[in-house]
């Protein structure tokens, strides 16, 4: 199969698997990450097939869809790419990227975060993280909170900086805390120069939003 056909089959596979998903991992999230990754690749380089396949497939391996197992998700990605006869060398690279692209699975046992080792991985991770900040990031955070049934804000529950995967995935929180626990940290975690630049505006936009939110909450009219 040529590159165009491989990407088309992959797009169909992912659309089918994720359409209508309500926790912020719907097809349109994938679509935006895919576009952003292509934009980053234009500026930063990297193997385009690996970058496009990994951005399309990055959430298929997410633990949320695989009974808590990233490994099982990665096997699913492997089996799919094998079925459309993608070269084994490319499959290995894609699987490595999708396995570690999520924020939650990037924690090492000592609480520090794993760095993506390849340029392709760095680009896909940046594209995914860019979609978690800015106006879209705000919308996704509240959509996720609604999906989970958490409060939009509760001033009695203060944010805690996550230091482990367990703490990040199990902590009781509300959506405003999520900004302090994750979203406002992403700007400084971008791997590439191009993503760092894009992140600056999106970050400012979230800060403005939080300021306005707290003002309204506090009855500053
Ligand atoms: P990752 O795939 O990097 O682990 P998640 O799957 O946890 O990220 O997050 C998917 C989307 O849902 C992101 O936009 C993220 O900010 C949002 N989200 C995740 N956890 C929460 C939370 N506790 N409260 C609000 N939004 C959240
Ligand atoms: Ni994603």
> Per residue of the chain (221 residues), what is the pLDDT tens digit?
799 999 999 999 999 888 776 665 789 999 999 999 999 999 999 999 999 999 999 998 775 666 666 777 889 999 999 999 999 999 999 999 998 876 566 677 777 777 889 999 999 999 999 999 999 999 999 999 999 999 999 999 988 876 666 555 556 789 999 999 999 999 999 999 999 999 999 999 999 999 999 999 999 87
Q: Which of 137, 140, 146 most suits a substitution to test ligand 1, by most atoms within 8 Å of the C-beta?
A: 140
Distance 182 CA to ligand 1 centre (A): 8
Distance 104 CA to ligand 2 centre (A): 11
207 contacts 137 by C-beta, under 8 angstroms: no
Distance 141 CA to ligand 1 centre (A): 6
Residue nearest (by alpha carbon) to ligand 1 atom 14:
132
209 contacts 138 by C-beta, under 8 angstroms: yes
Which element (helix H / strand E) includes 167?
Answer: helix 165-170
pTM: 0.90
Phi and psi at residue 63, in whole multiples of 5°? Answer: -55, -25
Distance 143 CA to ligand 1 centre (A): 10
Nearest CA among 83, 124, 81 for reference residue 100? 124
What gap in Å lies between CA 147 and CA 143, rounded to an integer?
Answer: 6
Share the mean pLDDT of the chain: 89
Nearest CA among 65, 74, 78 for reference residue 98? 74
Residue nearest (by alpha carbon) to ligand 1 atom 11:
24
Reduce the DSSP state of residue 71 to 3 states and report it.
Answer: helix
Q: Which two tokens stand for residue 168?
A: 């990040």
- Using a 6 Å CB cutoff, which residues line ligand 1? 24, 62, 102-104, 132, 137, 140-141, 144-145, 173, 175, 178, 182-183
What CATH number should be reported for the domain whose range is 3-217? 1.10.3210.50
Residue nearest (by alpha carbon) to ligand 1 atom 10:
24
Residue 115, pLDDT score: 82
What gap in Å lies between CA 98 and CA 113, rounded to an integer?
Answer: 16
94 contacts 54 by C-beta, under 8 angstroms: yes
Reduce the DSSP state of residue 47 to 3 states and report it.
Answer: coil
Locate the ligand 1 atom nearest the alpha carbon of residue 131 and give its number. Answer: 14
Distance 128 CA to ligand 2 centre (A): 5
């Amino acid at each position: 199969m040529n590159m165009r056909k491989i990407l088309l089959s992959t797009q169909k596979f992912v659309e089918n698997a994720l359409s209508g998903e309500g926790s912020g991992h719907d097809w349109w999230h994938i679509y935006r990450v895919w576009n952003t990754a292509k934009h980053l690749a234009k500026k930063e380089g990297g193997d385009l097939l690996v970058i496009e396949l990994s951005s399309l497939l990055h959430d298929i391996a997410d633990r949320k869809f695989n009974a808590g197992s990233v490994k099982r998700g990665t096997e699913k990605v492997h089996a799919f790419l094998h079925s459309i006869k993608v070269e084994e060398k490319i499959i290995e690279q894609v699987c490595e990227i999708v396995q570690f692209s999520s924020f939650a699975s990037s924690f090492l046992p000592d609480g520090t975060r794993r760095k993506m080792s390849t340029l392709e991985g760095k680009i896909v991770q940046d594209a995914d993280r860019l979609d978690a900040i800015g106006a879209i990031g705000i919308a996704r955070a509240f959509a996720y909170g609604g999906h989970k049934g958490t409060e939009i804000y509760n001033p009695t529950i203060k944010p805690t900086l996550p230091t482990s995967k367990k703490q990040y995935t199990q902590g009781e929180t509300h959506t405003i805390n999520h900004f302090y626990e994750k979203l406002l940290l992403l700007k400084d975690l971008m791997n590439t120069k191009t993503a760092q630049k894009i992140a600056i505006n999106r970050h400012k936009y979230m800060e403005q939003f939080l300021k306005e939110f707290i003002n309204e909450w506090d009855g500053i009219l």
